[in-house]
Structure 1
Amino acid sequence: MWTDLLAAYAMWMTMAYLTDAWKLNLKHAAAIVNLFWGMVAIMPVGLQFVVDTFMGYYWMVLFSSFSYIAGLGFLSKLTPPDLAAATATCSAYDPECIGQGQKILFFTALALIAVGCSGHLVSVPQFMADQDSHSNHRDSMLCHLFMSFTVIHVPIAGAFAIHYIKPWSMRYGIPAICTLVATLIFLTGSCSYRTY
């Protein structure tokens, strides 16, 4: 859950990225970010059907986490300095340095992040509720205490840290790395989870 908050903060900064690096006007940048959040708002309906019919909550958590990692990874690598050699463009944060390949990767990354965010909205709360109903009270209280600490403190610390980091690749890379770490931690408990 804490990685969702970091990723949401990174997506909130996307409008600044579009106006600073791509030099889009505020209306155009806001339209792109609003389209992203619209996709996040409408996709849970379809994803809930997929969860109920095919996948189950465990597999949706895993699928959406990998989608998050891929999308945030694309975003961190498509900034002009990082992708300049591969796309034969310049490495400055100027509109002429943003090639067609970078634009395609950017919108692909937004779609992957939207799937990841919507998948987590659909699956994480119910998956956690299923685990809580089968754990003992002491373990459940310790888990909730740890979760409360991480959900509150990690995103706040991350938001402050990300704001002061200048390279856009790092601003998107930190949530990608945190999501990867959270997914690996999630996978370590796979044998003990109750799946339905």
Structure 2
Amino acid sequence: MACIKLSGECTIACTMVSGLKWAHIVAEYALFVLINYLTNTWGLGFAHAAGIINLFFGISKVLEICFAFMADAYLGIFKMLLLSTLVYSIGLAFLTMSTPPVLSNFAGNCNRYEAECVGPIQKAFFFTSLVLMGVGMAGKAVSLDAYLRHYQTPRDDNSNDLNNQQVYDEEEDGFWSVNNLLVIGISVVAALALSNIKPWDIKFAIPAIFSFTATLVFFAGKALGFYSNYGDKPEGSALTTVLRVLVAATYKSCHELPVNSDELYQGNHNSANQLPHTHGCGCFDKAAIVSSPTKRVDKEEEKKWKVCSVTEVEETKLTVQTVGNISGKRRK
């Protein structure tokens, strides 16, 4: 019974979270036709319109690194996902409002889909929508799939019955098979339905409504307790570790390394997980310098990124060396 209960709860949670994925697929079609909107309504050339959209996607990709760090160090996956989907929905709403008919009476422009009807207010709403959607896309890129993967392979740790566990796994596999079919079906239906809608305001409004609804359902699922505590707190990652080491090493760039490497901050890692100190990439070792050998490093100093452990420094060295080796192989 415990297995059946867990499976039912997981199915509800997975369905609520999957709604964000479905809404994102519907919204992607609206972004796909933005070039046509700019060329047909704004009267821009194809190269100009494509340049705007490519810049939008490029900036969004760069922001993914920043938001991955924010999710790992400060917000956690859940808050990042909730905020990014909300911002993305607002961006879609602004995109709808940028079409000439929506604000024609307020802006004093005509309501036809022509270049002369696109005034400063419509342009302001459009470029604001691109900023918001870019931020939302970057935030969802680093949180949505990670949150979904957590529920794709759940396990009942309290169940010792292998037969029940096997039945549970089969039920979950069946659910995700149906879920994948729904994703494909929604993609096809959205593309066909939106392609047959001519007014641009309605074509943009449907994804906006869909996205707002999915965000509300997702938040309601958390409020009603359907989700676990996964992602509520930042857990840190390799990216966070690398950034902490870089900041701490820069902060102590003027300090001299101790002759004895044992005087470097060892941290509170378990002996089995500690990495031995190496002499390569010595500039990173300054991140582990303790201002005074007799001074005890507290958690507050670690949180301020003033000192890192030897293990964190060695992990950063391995990361940098790995990236360097991959780059070298690609050049060859």
The TM-score by the shorter chain falls in which range? over 0.9
When structure 1 is superposed on structure 2, of 138-147 and 22-31 the one drifting more is: 138-147
What do the CA deviations read for 1:147-169 (whole angstroms, capped 9, x no partner)? 21221111110011101101101
Unaligned runs of 5+ in 2: 1-20, 157-168, 232-332
Counterpart position of 1:60? 80
2:132 paired residue number:
112
TM-score, normalising length from structure 2?
Answer: 0.56
TM-score of the two chains, using structure 1 as the length reference: 0.93
Report how far residue 81 of structure 1 moved: 0.9
Task: State the number of aligned residues.
Answer: 196
> Paired residue for 1:178?
210
Q: Which position in structure 2 is the counterpart of 1:100?
A: 120
CA shift, 1:135, in A, is 4.7
Question: How far off its partner does 1:59 sit?
Answer: 0.8
Instruction: Confirm whether residue 192 of structure 1 aligns to residue 212 of structure 2.
Output: no
What pairs with 1:39-58 in structure 2 (closer than 5 Å)?
Answer: 39-58=59-78
The 2-side partners of 1:139 and 1:74 are apart by 41
Which has the higher relative contact order, 1 or 2, with Cα contacts under 8 A spaced 6 or more apart?
1
2:97–2:122 CA contact under 8 A, matched in 1: no
Letter in 1 for 2:227: Y
Give the direction of change, closer, same or farther, for the CA distance of 1:142–1:187 in structure 2 (3 Å limit).
farther
CA distance in 1: counterparts of 2:217 and 2:177, whole angstroms: 17
**Are the aligned partners of 2:85 and 2:136 in contact in 1 as well (CA < 8 Å)?**
yes
Percent sequence identity over aligned pairs: 34
* Amino acid across the alignment from 1:159: A
Report if aligned partners of 1:131, 1:193 keep a CA contact under 8 Å in 2: no
Alignment of 1:1-196 (within 5 A): 1-135=21-155, 137=169, 140-190=172-222, 191-194=225-228, 195-196=230-231
Determine the C-alpha separation between the residues in 2 that align with 1:108 and 1:68: 11
Gaps of 5+ in 1: none
Shift of 1:142: 4.7
Deviates more, 1:165-174 or 1:135-144: 135-144
**Distance verdict in 2 for CA 1:55–1:28, change over 3 Å:** same
Runs of 4+ that moved beyond 6 A: none
How much is the aligned-residue C-alpha RMSD, in angstroms?
A: 1.6
In the alignment, the residues of structure 2 paired with residue 76 and residue 146 of structure 1 have an alpha-carbon distance, to the nearest angstrom, of 32
Shift of 1:181: 2.1
**1:141 Cα shift?**
2.9
> How far, CA to CA, are the matches of 1:32 and 1:116 in structure 2?
17
Query: Which structure's residues are more often helix, by fraction?
Result: 1
CA distance in 2, matches of 1:29, 1:167: 19
Q: For the residues of structure 1 that align with 2:174 and 2:213, how far apart are their CA atoms?
A: 21
Deviations along 1:30-49, whole A, 9 cap, x unmatched?
Answer: 11111111122211100001
8 Å contact kept, 1:3–1:155: no
- Tell me if structure 2 keeps the 8 A contact 1:64–1:119: yes
Which residue identity is paired with 1:2? Answer: W
Deviation of 1:97 after TM superposition, in Å, equals 1.1
- Alpha-carbon spacing, 1:86–1:148, altered in 2? closer, same or farther (3 Å): same
| 8 A Cα contact 2:221 2:227, kept in partner | yes
Report the CA distance shift for 1:138/1:192 in structure 2 as closer, same or farther (over 3 A): farther
8 Å contact from structure 2 (residues 84, 136) kept in 1: yes
Instruction: Classify the secondary structure of the residue corresponding to 1:80.
Output: coil
| Compared CA separation, residues 142 and 64, structure 1 to 2 (3 A) | farther
The 2-side partners of 1:139 and 1:43 are apart by: 37
Judged with a 3 Å threshold, the aligned counterparts in structure 2 of structure 1 residues 139 and 181 are, in CA distance, closer, same or farther, namely farther
